[in-house]
Amino acid sequence: MRVVRSIRTMQRLVSQAKRSGKRVGFVPTMGALHDGHRSLLRRCRRENDLAVLSIFVNPKQFGLREDFAKYPRREHDDKKLAKKEKVDIMFVPSVKEMYPEGYLTYIEVEKMTQFLCGRSRPGHFKGVTTVVGKLLNIVTPDVLYLGQKDAQQAAVLKRMARDLNFPVAVRVCPTVREADGLAMSSRNQYLPAGQRREAAVLYRALREARQGVAAGNRSSAGIAGGIRSRIGRESSGRIDYIECVDADTILPLKRIQGKTIIALAVWFGKTRLIDNIIVRT
């Protein structure tokens, strides 16, 4: 495995691979890799000739009072995991490399970033689409791998790739969970033991919601109310949002129909966790 920190070097290596007919797969991350990332890397390795992983804690997607400074950075451990998963190139650019002095250009997807995390974290998705747009131009992959846990992010990036004609296929892979159902996240390590136990209620509540939809409940307000009630009964979690949205447009639905994302964000102490499930009617 080669660790690359220069954009120019990254572009040269991929260009060489493509000239020799290799198919390039790409997994963009902010590091602190866990089994959720591992599942993306395994699929990337299985389906491509060249597997590229990026690790970049992107300052443009953090708000002023968010956790950019304390976000876990574990390059040594990440490198060991990447080697085990047979990654070919680990791209680890600096902030200065990605955003040189005088940087002025951004990408923004409208409408579908106004809800869910976009409403709670103004500017967040502008930072996400900008950095992923840059990474797609640098790595020029044939396939981009994303996780379903970040459902809104995946939908937004799929739309960006389509609207801006990026020549890349986007694969959204299933959420990987802990034994008690909590979606794997680099932020889970922030949770003290008591809050970590409580956080398992999120998936229990989402599963109960899915059962409600299967039983015929199509009211978004009713489904959200049931989730809210269970989280309130079984934890000290402070709810940011619970919403049912169209899976493709991320627009809120009054009644659940077609492919729908039931999404939530909940604070446990100072840690904000997100999760979701997809239902089809």
Element (H or E) spanning 45, and its range?
Answer: helix 35-47
66, two tokens:
């968010």
Residues pairing with 238 in the sheet = 267
Mean pLDDT of 125-144: 98
The SS3 call for residue 133 is helix
Q: What is the DSSP letter of 219?
A: B
> Model-level pTM?
0.97
The tens digit of pLDDT for each residue in 59-84 reads 999 999 899 999 999 999 999 999 99
Provide the residue ranges of all domains of the chain, joining segments of one domain with +: 2-173, 186-280
**What confidence tens digit (pLDDT) does each residue in 185-200 have?**
999 999 999 999 999 9
- Rounded to whole angstroms, the Cα distance separating 73 from 271 reads 17
| Mean pLDDT within 147-152 | 98
Q: Which pLDDT score is estimated for 265?
A: 98
Residue 268 pLDDT grade (very low, low, confident, very high; cuts 50, 70, 90): very high
In 3D, which of 278, 279, 273, 255 has the Cα closest to residue 117? Answer: 273
**What's the rounded Cα separation, in Å, for the pair 174 and 158?**
16
Question: What pLDDT was estimated at residue 88?
Answer: 98
Residue 207: per-residue pLDDT: 98
Query: Which pLDDT tens digit goes with each residue over 154-167?
Result: 999 999 999 999 99
Q: For residue range 3-14, list pLDDT tens digits in order.
A: 999 999 999 999
Rg of the chain, C-alpha, whole Å? 19
Is 76 among the residues known to form the active site?
no
Q: What confidence score (pLDDT) does residue 238 get?
A: 98
Q: Quick one: pLDDT at residue 180?
A: 98
CA distance 191 to 271: 7
pLDDT of residue 246: 98
CB-facing half-sphere around the CA of 74: CA atoms within 13 A: 13
Quote the tokens at residue 141: 């992959």
Give mean pLDDT, residues 223-246: 98
Q: Choose, from 34, 37, 76, 124, the residue flagged as catalytic.
A: 37
**What CATH superfamily is the domain 186-280?**
Pantoate-beta-alanine ligase, C-terminal domain (3.30.1300.10)
Q: For residue 78, which of 67, 62, 92, 58 has the smallest C-alpha distance? A: 92
CATH superfamily of 2-173: HUPs (3.40.50.620)
Strand 271-280: give its sheet, edge to edge.
Answer: 238-246, 259-268, 271-280
Give the model's pLDDT for residue 78.
Answer: 98
Percent of the chain with pLDDT over 90: 99
Mean pLDDT of 26-43: 98
How many whole angstroms separate alpha carbon 194 and alpha carbon 204? 17
Task: Return the sign of the alpha-carbon dihedral for residues 210, 204, 29, 36.
Answer: negative
Reported confidence tier of residue 211, pLDDT bands at 50, 70, 90? very high
Computed over every residue of the chain, the mean pLDDT equals 98
Asked if residues 175 and 183 have their Cβ atoms less than 8 Å apart, the reply is yes
